[in-house]
């Protein structure tokens, strides 16, 4: 790596504005060319090493296609130039299905995200609610409008491309969504038509179970570590509750949530419960390293600086995104984040997926369940 830095740097090049060191433009160009050749030579030496064949190169489709190991992956790209879905399919290592989405524009995605943010409680970043919370339509009507637009303009074309025309009453399949731009703030998984008269087969969940991935690499890495996780670590569930975080409202439902989980487990799964004062940074991080599953029931906050977004623990301590991504958790399997805004990203870094849920994936968890906005204390235990 030092060789690459040396070859790629221009610190040794002569400053053409330095009159005390005259040098022709031709010699400067020749020197720059020599640096480039040296850098390429170093890269070639690295790429002959096992495991480094694609070092600093875009991953080939044969590698990216591994993300579709257990089901189709739909990458939905949106920009001022248009909207498209690129679908990877299981068993196809050299093919991508292109689905144009001409009826969906960037401005529409931004409008839907704004409409949704105007009605959900505590949607995360304050910047996302520059307008009034008052809406011309009732909240339920706004939800139905947003979900129907996603259904007709994104989901239906994708289902058609997958040749999925019949809803599944059993053995339902899965799809992974990799979203970009303002789409990351929209609940694609809930897309559909909602109402008393809607028939079975009018929403995405009637056809496929949806999951999200911040990148194809994250999905591939999750599969790679799955067998190691299942074979080397005993099954233990770490549960963390903090109903009375400093400066936050009291949420007693967090403790009820874990009690219900313990009743369901019936002693078949070892459970380590860190509650209130026991939920220190040190105890939580130690428990995460010893457990395959973790369940957080506490307050979550989304900060202006995304890496400072955090789960609130004992006293005033916080388990931040920065803390989580530094953990090495090779046996991690599932993280359940029963806290507000854990999958709420930054409006300035829409494509970066810098939030608590994504940080858990980076730390090694194969699957993470998070929240796109705030949740009620009475609702979270029911979902869990």
- The whole-angstrom separation of Cα 271 and Cα 169 is 34
Most confident among 11-20, 270-279, 308-317, 335-344 (mean pLDDT): 270-279
* Band of pLDDT at residue 2, cut at 50, 70 and 90: low
Mean pLDDT of the residues in the chain: 84
Instruction: Name the burial class of residue 97, with classes exposed (0-12), middle (13-18) and buried (19+) by CB atoms within 10 angstroms of its CB.
Output: middle
**pLDDT computed for residue 133 by the predictor:** 40
Kind of pairing between the strands at 82-88 and 73-79: antiparallel
Distance of CA 154 to the CA centre of its chain: 19
* Contact present, 310 and 303 (Cβ < 8 Å): yes
Q: Which of 1-15, 75-89, 138-152, 370-384 has the lowest mean pLDDT?
A: 1-15
Instruction: Name the burial class of residue 221, with classes exposed (0-12), middle (13-18) and buried (19+) by CB atoms within 10 angstroms of its CB.
Output: middle
Q: Of 27 and 175, which is predicted with more confidence?
A: 175
What are the pLDDT digits (tens) for 204-220? Answer: 999 999 999 989 988 88
98-102, long-range: CB within 8 Å, 24+ apart, which pairs?
Answer: 99/74, 99/157, 99/158, 99/161, 100/157, 101/76, 101/153, 101/154, 101/157
**pLDDT computed for residue 354 by the predictor:** 65
**pLDDT computed for residue 135 by the predictor:** 47
**pLDDT computed for residue 286 by the predictor:** 94
* Band of pLDDT at residue 272, cut at 50, 70 and 90: very high
**pLDDT computed for residue 124 by the predictor:** 38
The model carries a pTM of 0.78
DSSP state letter for 192: B
Coil, strand or helix at 54: coil
DSSP state letter for 345: -
**pLDDT computed for residue 160 by the predictor:** 97
Instruction: Count other C-beta atoms under 10 Å from residue 213's C-beta.
Output: 20
**Concatenated DSSP letters of 220-245:** HHHHHHHHHHHHHS---EEEEE-TT-
End-to-end CA distance of the chain: 46
* Contact present, 312 and 301 (Cβ < 8 Å): yes
Coil, strand or helix at 119: coil
* Band of pLDDT at residue 6, cut at 50, 70 and 90: low
- The whole-angstrom separation of Cα 17 and Cα 32 is 16
Instruction: Name the burial class of residue 121, with classes exposed (0-12), middle (13-18) and buried (19+) by CB atoms within 10 angstroms of its CB.
Output: exposed
Instruction: Count other C-beta atoms under 10 Å from residue 32's C-beta.
Output: 12
What are the pLDDT digits (tens) for 165-177? Answer: 999 888 899 999 9
| 73, 237, 349 from 292: Cα distances, Å | 25, 7, 30
Give kind and range of the element (H or E) at residue 239: strand 237-241
Coil, strand or helix at 278: helix
Place of tokens 């703030």: 185
What are the pLDDT digits (tens) for 100-147? Answer: 999 999 999 999 999 988 887 543 333 323 333 444 678 889 999 999
Share of the chain above pLDDT 90, in %: 47
Over its C-alpha atoms, the chain yields an Rg (Å, rounded) of: 24
**pLDDT computed for residue 127 by the predictor:** 32
pLDDT for residue 344 is more than 80? no
Average pLDDT over residues 367-381: 83
- The whole-angstrom separation of Cα 5 and Cα 9 is 6
pLDDT for residue 314 is more than 50? yes
- The whole-angstrom separation of Cα 39 and Cα 36 is 5
């Amino acid at each position: 790596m030092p060789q690459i830095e040396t070859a790629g740097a221009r610190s040794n090049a002569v400053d053409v504005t330095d009159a005390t060191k005259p040098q022709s433009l031709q010699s400067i160009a020749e020197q720059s060319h020599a640096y480039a050749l040296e850098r390429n030579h170093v890269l070639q030496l690295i790429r002959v090493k096992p495991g480094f064949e694609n070092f600093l190169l875009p991953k080939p489709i044969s590698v990216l296609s591994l993300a579709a190991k257990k089901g189709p992956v739909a990458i939905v790209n949106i920009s001022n130039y248009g909207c498209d879905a690129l679908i990877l399919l299981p068993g196809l290592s050299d093919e991508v299905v292109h689905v144009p989405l001409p009826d969906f524009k960037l401005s529409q995605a931004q409008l839907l995200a704004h409409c949704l943010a105007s009605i959900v409680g505590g949607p995360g970043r304050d910047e996302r609610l520059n307008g009034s919370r008052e809406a011309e339509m009732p909240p339920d009507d706004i939800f139905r409008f947003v979900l129907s637009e996603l259904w007709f303009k994104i989901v239906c074309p994708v289902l058609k491309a997958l040749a999925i025309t019949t809803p599944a009453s059993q053995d339902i399949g899965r799809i992974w969504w990799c979203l970009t731009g303002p789409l990351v703030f929209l609940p694609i998984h809930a897309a559909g038509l909602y109402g008393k008269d809607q028939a079975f087969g009018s929403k995405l969940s009637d056809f496929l179970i949806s999951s999200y991935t911040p990148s194809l690499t994250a999905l591939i890495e999750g599969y790679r570590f799955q067998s190691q996780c299942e074979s080397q670590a005993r099954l233990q569930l770490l549960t963390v509750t903090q109903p009375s975080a400093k400066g936050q409202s009291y949420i007693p439902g967090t403790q009820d949530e874990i009690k219900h989980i313990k009743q369901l487990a019936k002693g078949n799964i070892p459970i380590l419960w860190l509650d209130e004062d026991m939920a220190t940074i040190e105890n939580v991080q130690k428990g995460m390293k010893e457990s395959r599953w973790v369940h957080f029931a506490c307050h979550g906050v989304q900060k202006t600086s995304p890496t400072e977004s955090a789960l609130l623990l004992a006293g005033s301590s916080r388990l931040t995104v920065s803390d989580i991504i530094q953990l090495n958790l090779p046996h991690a399997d599932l993280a359940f984040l029963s806290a507000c805004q854990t999958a709420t990203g930054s409006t300035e870094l829409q494509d970066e997926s810098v939030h608590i849920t994504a940080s858990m994936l980076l730390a090694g968890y194969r699957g993470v369940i998070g929240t796109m906005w705030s949740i009620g204390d009475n609702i979270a235990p029911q979902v869990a």
